[in-house]
Structures are given as C-alpha cells and as structure tokens.
Amino acid sequence: MNFHSTRDKSKTLSAAQAIAKGLSEDGGLFVPDSFPKLSQDDFKVLLTMDYKARAVDIMGRYLADFTAEELTGFAANAYGKQFDTECAAPVRTVNDGTHYLELWHGPTSAFKDMALQMLPYLLTTSIKKTGETKKVCILTATSGDTGKAALEGFCDVPDCKIMVFYPKDGVSQIQELQMTSQEGSNVSVASVYGNFDDAQTGVKKIFSDPDFRAELADKGWFLSSANSINFGRLLPQVVYYISAYCDLVNAGSIAFGDAINFCVPTGNFGNILAGYYAKQMGLPVHKLICASNANDVLTEFIETGVYNRKRPFFTTVSPSMDILVSSNLERLLYHLTGGDDAYVRSCMEALERDGCYKVSDELLKVLHETFACGCCDEDATKAKIADMFGENHYLIDTHTAVAGHVLDVYRKATGDERTAVVVSTASPYKFCGAVLAAIGGTVDCDGIALLDRLNEKSGAPVPKPLASLKGKNPRFNQTFEKEAMTQVVRDFI
C-alpha cells in the first residue's frame, strides 16, 4: 500500500512517509493507491474481536510498514483506561431502527479522541521509520474539538511541540477552557480573529511556505499536522464504522450483509469520509447522509455539484461544524474521479482563485450513488435535543442533534426506513448552555457552572474530563490576526 498527493500522483510515498509529512508540499492531501477489501470471512473474524483488535486489523491493511505487534501496542495504549467504557465506541439503541454511535467516551469527551489518541503513536513511529532526525512541531487549526484532543494526545511527547489555533469567539466556553488550560511543557494555544476557515487557511499557508520550512529545518524542526488532513488522523476513524456494524450484527439488530445508513454531522468532511473508506473496503453501507448546520456549503455541493465558499458565515450552537472550506472533500473528489489529480488540482485552484468550483453532471451522479444530505437550522437543532430527551430520556449534543434531525427529514422524504446509525460526536456537556436551554432549563451562569445545572436537570452524569475543569484557569489567552500566525509559530519554536 503506497500513498500519493491528490494533486500529483507521480510521487509515491510509504504510509510512514505520508503520516510523517502530514500534508503534501503541493498543498494536496495524501491518499492510498487502493482500498483493501474485506471478504465475508474477514468480517466473520472481525465480529469476534473487541474494538482494539478491530483497529489493529483494519489499520494494518493500510500500514504496510508497521508490524502487527506495533499496532497492537498502539491500540492498547490509545483505547485504554482513558476511555470510560471498555468498548471505546459503544452503540446506543434508541429504537428498533435507529442507533447512536457514541464517540465521546474518551479523555476530551469528543469523537476526535478516537483518532487523536492513536495519532501520536503513528506519527512518532513514522518519524523513526523514515529516518528523520529533526524534531516535529504539530500545527493544528480547530473548530473546537480537534484542538483539545490533539493537545491531550501530544502532551509532553518527546522531541515534539504542538501549537493549536482556534477562532476567537467561535468555540463553546467548555471547549475554550479545555484548550487554554491544557497542561504540558510542549504545548501552546492561540485564538485567531475570524472563523475556523481563517485559522485553517493560515495553517495550510504555513505548511506550503518553502522559505519557512527551510528556516525551521536549519533550526532542527519540521512541521506535521494533527488535523484530518493527515492520513494518520483519518485512518483510525474508519475503524468505528466497521466496529459499529459488527456490534449491531452481534446484538441481533441487523443480519450480516444488511446494508445500513450512517448519518454524520460534519463540517470538514473527515468524519464522513472515513465512512466512505469503510464502504469502499466492503462495509454494507446504503447511504452516507451528510448533515450540516446553517453553514450548509456541503448540502449545496451534494445537491447541485457546486462548491461555493462565498456565502454568509453563521456562528451556531454547533460550532465544530461552522466551516465553509471542507478540506477532506478534496480526497473524495480524487477517489470519485478515479485518481484524476489534474482535475482535483484545477478544482482546488478555482476554489482558491474564485471561491467556488462545479463538478460535472457525471461526477455528481456518482456522488449521489453513495451520499445523501440535509441541513438543520438552530430551532430544529434545539427541537431535536428536546424531543430526544422528552421521548427517550436520551441527552444529545447540538452536533448530534443536527444529524438526528437530518435523518428524520431524509426518511420522510425518501421513505428509506432501513436501519440507521447516527454518529454522535460529542458529549452534551461540551455545549451545556444550548442543551440546557433546549430541554427547558435556565441558563443564567457561565459554562463551568452549567455543568452542574445540566446534570440536575437531566440526570445524565458529567464526564470526568469535563468535571475536572472546575477551578482551572487559562494558561493561554493571546489572540492574533491570521497574518501573524507564521510569526506566532516561529516564536513558539
């Protein structure tokens, strides 16, 4: 299994090289040259495994230069005691046909833990395998959850620093305190004036600046990424789609071979892309339903084939999806076009130059074979939270509510009532104010105090990682213009 850039497939890299680099120097994202296929016999074996063993099996099919022994050790450490449930990613059945895949039982109470507890092991080992002697600085832009999960994963890792940028006033109070109070001698956090796209664009520009790369190399450093632009971040996410399917079969909720739907709240497209990878490997998936909030750039793209970031930006109660430039869509375009790197490059150039691009009708037809979509406004998000709590006494966060609502609309519009899994991406306690208000509580205090208020109202336990924030003070409180990001990184290193 080799890897190459979505914008230039002439250069071949190993898995370790792709993970160590994070992002191609041409601005493209690394992709595998094929999808390993899972046979019926492979699935029968996966059914008997726990989550850790499934992770080793599935990731090993892509990581030819890693041994099973290495991956087994990584999985044992990544999905161990820092999770509050033995299975790491449990499936919660709400009714006979609808299940919620809970991806928020890790140390930061968000789905990013599923990948970012694994990535440090993949990255540091990749660096060793490639013979790299320089130290690594991880640069990450976050819309809320990636930042804390990356900081937690790379905290005090030897020969490594990590710098996280997030949009000022663009994350929840809980998310912000999680990041700004992060412990560790090798970490730094800064907010950026603007939105997530401004922070993400700034990070990408730093990666693609040859002069800055040379400057860092002279000082004994190189850059890598913990965003889902890094394949080592994307790959562990493939595991939980396959694992959820196995769990449903084992529970008798579906028969082996039944095709099911996944509804995924997504902004940067990495989470749902992992589902696409699982489907390409042979997972019986009928539709991947892309759920957006008011920033519905992905809904428009899937419906019309037009990707247009020149639109109003909305700050919503589901801030991790407040994104207008979905980086991982580039990978999907590459795969859907059969590896047409020139076509992908032209689309990305048009997006940079004009703010938009349009795919052909033929490509749109191929897209519709796998993907459906929908969006959800603020009122509908809050109503879904209230309905889930009132009808099922099940508390969900704002992003999960977006997906739950979009699934309801999809089913009504299509009549497709097959078994569906809603991918639940965060603990409701990360967005206390919006969730508490939605279930009829009073919001008259700040984020930390709201933890107890939501607990009293709902009866749902507060995750220990969030409860431990009480009494913590921020270590990092600086905000910069996006033009200053390179200098911020220079000063940090």
Q: Which residues are catalytic?
A: 112
Token duo for residue 426: 């965060």
Give DSSP secondary structure letters for 60-124: HTT-TTS-HHHHHHHHHHHTSTTSSSTTSSPEEEEETTEEEEE---STTSBTTHHHHTTHHHHHH
Reading the block at residue 353, the tokens are: 């130059």
Query: Cβ(35)–Cβ(70) under 8 Å?
Result: no
Greatest C-alpha distance within the chain = 61
Tokens of 266: 């997504």
For 8, the enclosing helix (H) or strand (E) is strand 8-13
Query: Other CB atoms closer than 10 Å to residue 172's CB: what's the count?
Result: 23
Count Cα atoms within 13 angstroms, Cβ side, for 215: 13
> CA geometry: angle at 307 spanning 303 and 313, to 5°?
105
Distance CA 121, CA 108 (A): 18
C-alpha to C-alpha distances, 481 to 168, 200, 493, nearest whole angstrom: 10, 13, 19
Instruction: Give dist(CA 423, CA 430) in Å, integer.
Output: 16
Phi-psi region of 288 (alpha: psi -120 to 50; beta: other; left: phi over 0): beta
Residue 291 β-bridge partners: 265, 374
What are the C-alpha distances in Å from 274 to residues 25, 166, 205, 240? 23, 24, 25, 9
- The secondary structure of residue 321, as a DSSP letter, is G
Instruction: State the Cα–Cα distance between residues 242 and 256, nearest whole angstrom.
Output: 12
Q: Measuring CA to CA, which residue among 66, 55, 71, 62 is closest to residue 34?
A: 62
User: Residue 334 and residue 120: Cα distance in Å, rounded?
Assistant: 27
